[in-house]
Amino acid sequence: MSIKMKRFFARNPLHIWVFRLVLVVLALVYICPILFAIITSLKTEREFYSNIWALPQNIRLENYISAFKVGKIGEYFGNSVIIAIGSIIPIEICAVLLAYAIARLKLPKTELILIFCFAIQLLPTETIIIPLYITMSKLSILSVPYMPMILAYAGWSIPGTAIIMKNYFDTVPSELLEAARIDGAGEVTTLFRVMLPLMKGVLATCIVMNFTFVWGEMMWARTATIVTTKGIPLTVGLMNFKSDLGTQWPLLCAAICLVIIPLYLLFLFLQKYFVASLTAGGVKG
């Protein structure tokens, strides 16, 4: 919390309690559906329909096994992992190079490049899907497993990620880069040996942000897999899972839990860098 916010709450003690109450309500709004899915995933069909709010009488981990085998969640899970890794790697690499070039290489018309990046981010995804589908259909890309989603996710995410990284590069003191150049380091060496070790928090933030988007995106994933049964990710697989099994809610909730677990594991693994990047300027004021 910044010094200005501390002074504000010190002068208005009631405001901090209102602020805390709002945070608690928002936390409950996000946590309750997750807890409901976890509890339901451990029930039987009879227990669910007898009382959907009751705790399970006997914990049924078999629901997770059935979700993997009967609902093909294992196959969908593997497809989502391939798509996520195949998207995030080019996103991070291209965004770092683009951001460094805009921030430090003094390229001409950098303002136009930034405006173009902002325009892509502000453009609703729904307006892009039909032209994108037609283009990939003409190029015969839709029949290639994983490729339509990886290309689309990378194209959508690189501009916004580059803007975040560019803002970070702007905060790095010029003296640090000049010292590296005096020592004989070129731009590539400066980027990889000086800048990248300093931006772990920014990289972690972008990885979490992009992974969350790629892992949970459904509209384009559903559209891109209309003509194929290969490379279907988890979000689309859940819809097929629900239809095939006639809405068996315990199994469906077990599959949903398998979808959200990787997100929490990734955040727990990167939370130190993620939180550090968010609070980097919190003590300034």
Token output for 111: 């303002």
Residue 27 domain boundaries: 1-71+245-285
Q: Are 266 and 208 in contact (CB under 8 A)?
A: yes
Q: Is residue 114 part of a domain?
A: yes
Based on the fold, state whether residues 80 and 52 are members of the same structural domain: no
Question: 282: Cβ–Cβ under 8 A, 6 or more apart, which residues?
Answer: 1, 2
Whether 125 maps to a domain, the answer reads yes
Same-domain status, 200 and 116: yes
The Cα 109–Cα 112 span in angstroms is 5
Please report the pLDDT score of residue 3 as a whole number: 58
So what's the pLDDT on residue 197? 82
**Number of folded domains that form the chain:** 2
Q: Is residue 153 part of a domain?
A: yes
Residue 50 domain flag: yes
Residue by residue, DSSP assigns 12-81 as -HHHHHHHHHHHHHHHHHHHHHHHHHHHHHTS-HHHHHH-TTSPPSS--THHHHHHHHTS-HHHHHHHHH
* Tokens representing residue 33 in the block: 């559906």
- The model carries a pTM of 0.80
Tell whether 84 and 138 lie within a shared domain.
yes
- Alpha carbon separation from 218 to 11, 222, 237 (Å, rounded): 46, 6, 10
Rounded-to-integer distance, Cα 67 and Cα 253, Å: 9
Give, in order, the Cα–Cα distances in Å from 163 to each of 38, 108, 110, 189.
Answer: 37, 17, 12, 22
Query: In angstroms, rounded to a whole number, what is the distance separating the alpha carbons of residues 223 and 232?
Result: 11
Structural domain contains residue 262: yes
Question: What local confidence, expressed as pLDDT, does residue 285 receive?
Answer: 40
- Whether the CB-CB separation of 149 and 228 falls below 8 Å is answered with no
For each of the chain's 285 residues, which pLDDT tens digit applies? 555 656 655 666 676 778 788 889 998 888 888 899 899 989 988 888 888 888 888 888 888 888 887 777 888 889 999 999 999 999 999 999 999 888 888 778 888 888 888 888 888 877 889 899 999 999 889 888 999 999 999 999 999 999 989 888 888 887 887 887 787 777 788 888 888 888 888 888 898 889 989 998 989 999 998 888 888 998 888 876 665 546 778 888 888 888 888 888 887 877 776 666 555 544 444
Residue 240 lies in a domain: no
Q: What is the pLDDT of residue 220?
A: 92
Q: Are residues 96 and 196 in the same domain?
A: yes
Whether residues 33 and 101 fall in one domain: no
Same domain, 35 and 109: no
**Claim to verify: residue 29 and residue 118 sit in the same structural domain:** no
In 3D space, the residue among 211, 258, 209, 265 whose CA is nearest the CA of residue 237 turns out to be 258
**What does the DSSP assignment read for 139-193?**
TT-TTSSSHHHHHHHHHHHHHHHHHHHHHHHHHS-HHHHHHHHHTT--HHHIIII
211 and 111 share one domain? yes
Residue 111 sits in the same domain as residue 189: yes
Judge if 188 and 255 occupy the same domain: no
Residue 239 lies in a domain: no
Same domain, 96 and 55: no
Q: Which CATH number goes with the domain that contains 82?
A: 1.10.3720.10
Q: Quote the strand ranges of 236-284, DSSP E.
A: none
Judgement on whether residues 83 and 218 belong to the same structural domain of the protein: yes
**3-class SS shares of the chain: helix, strand, coil, % to 5:** 75, 0, 25
